[in-house]
Amino acid sequence: MKTKNTKTVRNQVNHLLWKWRPLGLGSALVWLALLCLGLVPSARGALGNDLCAGARALTTGTPITEDTTYATSTGDPAGLCGALAKGIWFTFTPTVNGPVLIETCGSDFDTILQVYTGTCAALAPVACVDNAGPACASLQASVSFVGTAGMAYRIFVGGSSGASGRLEIVALDGSVPTYSISGQVSDGVTGVSGVRVSVDSRSVLTSGAGHYTLLNLPGGTYTVAPEACGVGYAPPNRSVTLGPSVAGVDFVGNRVRIDSIVRVNPTTVRIDFTGLCYRSYTVLGHTDVTAPLSTWSIVATVATGSDGRATVDIPIGTTPYRFFTTRTP
């Protein structure tokens, strides 16, 4: 249910308190009754850094994750490089002079980054980036600028055209050497896009070809893992030691798992199976199991959902069948 504007509701409640004063109802009781009826906006999901004055401090190399679903646009500055809304605030103070990188690559929505110096009442723009940038090859924003040690930079990050969701933001200066981890997530034939690959509290989504790069990681040993969904990927995770950067950290989807086979009529069987999530599977058939794959015939095509499961009906016979994933639906 859509809630009313807080100021409007407050005025209405004050009117009701005056109207109901002969009944002896206290203001707290009235507010509680209205809250239970859904007439008062609750504080659910309220963000302390929704306004500039409540900006949250970033520490170099340490990612912060927030849900911006309940962020408001109250007091938001004008967009410097695109229309944005539902923004929240951070601050970052470099410890050394030199390049500063701020990125939101692990976020799951289209972000815009705006950087300022000055006070909340007198903001001075430094930089703004909408899509991509030096660190993110996607709709997630990243920005780089030359920073001054000891100077506080105010960072405003919002959703393009009002988008919101899971925000992951990290800031880095040159005080700590950083490295990268890269690789590909595939189904064994083609890359799988949109898979979240995580290392500790950092994450990034794979590109259309299934490639990913986790940037700006300090030296050390990390566990890299693709998001488990459906039959998942092999191996389920890999240990990587950085210093220098490491490439070729790949993951391959596991084979289809047949969950049940039921005969539905004299000529058809129904197969329930689990594969990779959001993939299109083609069932191929041939009388000779040793024949080249290019000579097999298409029997059926079916797409899996968010749990990787699907159902397909195929003819009964002596023909062997093979499940073959072809593309993202």
Token look-up 């906006």 returns 41
Q: Is pLDDT of 35 > 80?
A: no
Instruction: Report, as an integer, the average pLDDT of 277-282.
Output: 85
Best CA proximity match to 202, nearest among 170, 240, 161, 238:
170
- Nearby residues of 23 by Cβ (< 8 Å), 6 or more positions away: none
Q: How far apart are the first and last CA of the chain?
A: 34
pLDDT for position 201? 65
Q: How confident is the model at residue 189 (pLDDT cuts 50, 70, 90)?
A: confident
Sheet holding 111-119, edge to edge: 56-58, 84-92, 153-160, 111-119, 122-129
Fold classification of 178-253 is: Immunoglobulin-like (2.60.40)
Please give the torsion angle defined by the CA atoms of residues 313, 316, 321 and 327, in that order, rounded to the nearest 10 degrees. Answer: -20
pLDDT for position 183? 96
Q: Taking CA 25 as the corner, what is the angle to CA 22 and CA 29, rounded to the nearest 5 degrees?
A: 165
Q: How confident is the model at residue 233 (pLDDT cuts 50, 70, 90)?
A: very high
Q: Is pLDDT of 18 > 70?
A: no
What is the number of other CB atoms lying within 10 angstroms of the CB of residue 281? 22
pLDDT for position 325? 65
User: Who has greater pLDDT, 167 or 75?
Assistant: 167
pLDDT for position 192? 85
pLDDT for position 209? 87
What is the number of other CB atoms lying within 10 angstroms of the CB of residue 194? 15
* Amino acid present at 233: Y
Q: Is pLDDT of 326 > 70?
A: no
Q: pLDDT digits over 110-148, tens only?
A: 999 999 999 999 999 999 998 767 777 678 898 989 999
Token pair of 329, please? 């639906």
User: Who has greater pLDDT, 55 or 38?
Assistant: 55
Q: pLDDT digits over 147-173, tens only?
A: 999 999 999 999 988 899 999 999 988
Q: Is pLDDT of 45 > 60?
A: no
Q: pLDDT digits over 254-270, tens only?
A: 888 999 999 989 889 89
pLDDT for position 329? 39
* Amino acid present at 119: T
Q: Name which CATH class applies to 52-172.
A: mainly beta
3-class secondary structure for the chain?
A: CCCCCHHHHHHHHHHHHHHCHHHCCCHHHHHHHHHHCCCCCCCCCCCCCCCHHHCEEECCCCCEEEECCCCCCCCCCCCCCCCEEEEEEEEECCCCCEEEEEECCCCCCCEEEEEEEEECCEEEEEEEECCCCCCCCCCCCEEEEEECCCCCEEEEEEEECCCCCEEEEEEECCCCCEEEEEEEEECCCCECCCCEEEECCEEEECCCCCEEEEEEEECEEEEEEECCCCCCEECCCEEEEECCCECCCCEEECCCEEEEEEEEECCEEEEEEECCCCCEEEEEECCCCCCCHHHCEEEEEEECCCCCEEEEEEECCCCCEEEEEEECC
pLDDT for position 4? 42
Q: Is pLDDT of 97 > 80?
A: yes
CA distance 39 to 291: 68
CA distance 131 to 184: 22
Q: Is pLDDT of 42 > 80?
A: no
Q: Is pLDDT of 79 > 50?
A: yes
Token pair of 246, please? 């490491």
The mean pLDDT of the chain is 82
Cis ω on the peptide bond leading into residue 94 (within 30° of 0)?
no
Q: Is pLDDT of 181 > 50?
A: yes
